A and B are shown apart, each in its own frame.
Chain A
């Protein structure tokens, strides 16, 4: 934009900056500005010595007499205020606190700078910004803007409730997403997991078979990725979804078990993986476990599937509850029990989540691993480094006590934010992993069935 000035289309005045244009607009009520390649000069009339800016303004104001010449004098003291601005108007301008612009603002900036501004907006504001004008919409839906968002600051995830409500932490509001009721999927959805942009839901139909869906709650587009799964207990089926932002693509893993006839505490466990690119299912491994069963929790983190398993008893040595890991690239050995990692809190009251490809566990700080049937004492947050858990935070007592006695707590997290809530409400507690900050937001409506709440990052561009 070198050498560019602004010209008033109504009177021909040349202005050096947006601010000057604003001042001119206030004085004259002119609003027809356009960019000009005419340079704004500090000219002096060689006859009368009056300063001026351009030949145009002097012709119009009658100052240029026949025979007079103009000479450019670059060393004149700067005068960015037009001669006719009175001190009263200057004072009024100073007092004003950035209210209404008389000059259309959006075209002063080239697209890349407008992109930089719009990239600072939270998701809900981006959607509204896309409805302002075609130029803004064009910027927001452009490939370069999407790339900017991809590599930009990670966004605050939302919390999706079971009935199509989504909580936005930036504005502390619930949105009604107008999702089709789950029962329309011809299955009773009992398990929901989420990641960036997408939700995966597992439910058992009346025919006894389980169906697995992937959907984008914002675009309402959905896909059934499995329809005839034999699943004994939907709740105890580890299900996980991971989304790759760069491709974009996703993978869904499901761990199914079946009893072995003739083997009292034996179960055959299978890990199956669905990839969206190309669309296909793969059975990664099948293993027989004696005295173990799979649990509720499952997360894919950095290409590794983690899920909980429980000892059903009568087998030594006693390990208790814990996690096993499976590398989805299939490079490592497939002995699941060799990868067993004990957990620092009882798993029925614990929740696993992927926080920027680190495995995080949120659960009861009681040290008694049989405390699953006792009241919770508090909430702790641990991160897995290798095979060791490190406690990184504890919920302050006043926040925990606010949940009431013996709360049933559910947590879910993504990017930098963890949500912790209780069925009884009355608020959502959040923990910011980056700033190590706890906060509490009152809910104007508390969702029932908090076990079905999950955290997701709203993203329009990912399709199931």
Chain B
């Protein structure tokens, strides 16, 4: 295999790398899109990306979406407004998928996707009372009634 080199002329074919999900599915992604992942970028720099890159933590379904995200964000000439709208659509998914995005973006070190997904989860928490948060995320309160009372009293304004 030839060592990786950046394509300097437009007539060169796009350099692709192959990613392999935990369930054996393979995905091709343009190298330029893959550079959004710091993990993949360092592998490309060290010439470790010429064979399929195994990603044992990421399922095929999530990896497909991550590839879609990176490809979209590597496009040139996209205007900020339409990209924002695309991002909003991208994270309109159920909780488990959103959490899987966070884990994948963290593992692959894609800061834009990580911020986007974390902000989306934060948006679910915004404006909610602790009881509503318990229901949405199926979390049990681990405070004693006395502790809970004290917490509310400390900052009563936030719970009125």
Contacts and interface: CB of A to CB of B under 8 A. Distances in A.
Nearest to A219: B154
Contact of A19 (B22, B61, B115, B127): B61
Interface in B64-100: 92-100
Interface in A312-335: none
A11 interface: no
Question: For A21, A120, A137, which residue has the most chain B Cβ atoms within 10 angstroms?
Answer: A120
Interface of B: 21-25, 56-57, 59-62, 92-100, 102-103, 106-107, 114-115, 118-119, 121-122, 124-130, 133-143, 148, 151-152, 155-160
A18 B156 CA distance: 35
Interface in A104-157: 104-106, 108-109, 113, 116-118, 120-122, 124-125, 127-137
A270 interface: no
B99 A125 contact: no
A99 B128 CA distance: 13
A401 to B, nearest CB: 31
Contact of B59 (A16, A105, A113): A16
A40 B56 CA distance: 10
A129 B102 contact: no
A131 B152 contact: yes
Contacts of B61: 17, 19, 78, 80
Contacts of A80: 23, 59-61
Interface residues of A, number: 62
A1 B24 contact: no
B160 A176 contact: yes
B6 to A, nearest CB: 31
A34 interface: no
Nearest to B97: A19
A98 B156 contact: no
B119 A102 contact: no
A128 B159 contact: yes
A16 B23 contact: yes
A264 interface: no
B76 to A, nearest CB: 25
Contacts of B99: 18, 105, 108-109
Contacts of A177: 157
A98 B124 contact: yes
Query: DSSP class of B's interface residues: helix, strand, loop or mixed?
Result: helix
Given A18-B99, A97-B94, A134-B142, 4 more contacts: A31-B138, A100-B136, A101-B96, A101-B136
A175 B158 CA distance: 8
B127 A17 contact: no
A19 B156 CA distance: 37
B151 to A, nearest CB: 5
Contacts of B22: 16, 40
A21 B103 contact: no
Contacts of B128: 125, 128
B103 A131 contact: no
Contact of A133 (B121, B125, B143): B143
Interface string A32-51: 00000000101000000000
A110 to B, nearest CB: 8
A132 B134 CA distance: 7
Contact of A103 (B23, B60, B96, B114): B96
A73 to B, nearest CB: 9
Contacts of A22: 94-96
B24 A105 contact: no
